Amino acid sequence: MALNRIQKCGLEEKRLLSVANARQGWYRMATIRDINFLLNPTILGKKTKSRPGLVDPLAYYLN
């Protein structure tokens, strides 16, 4: 949950993992707060290798 620690949004690790592992679909299971956290311009604007991207969020959360 490195992204959660960096941004200090206070999202629970259990909640993020349940959304990332959902079989019903990521957007269907996520709340607006979770989606806004991942689509945050601060995160998307990073130019470094640590930028999470939106390709495989589960791989990022499991690190």
pLDDT digits (tens, 9 = 90+) for 44-54: 666 666 655 55
Mean residue pLDDT across the chain: 64
Amino acid at 41: P
Whether pLDDT at 5 is above 60: yes
Distance from C-alpha of 28 to C-alpha of 46, rounded to nearest angstrom:
27
Dihedrals phi, psi of 8, to nearest 5 degrees: 55, 50
Query: CA nearest 3: which of 29, 34, 32?
Result: 34
What is the tens place of the pLDDT at every residue in 6-63? 667 677 777 777 766 665 555 565 666 666 666 666 666 666 666 555 555 666 667 6
Looking at residue 16, what is its pLDDT?
Answer: 72
Cα angle 45-49-51, degrees, rounded to a multiple of 5:
40
Q: How far apart are CA 61 and CA 21, in angstroms?
A: 10
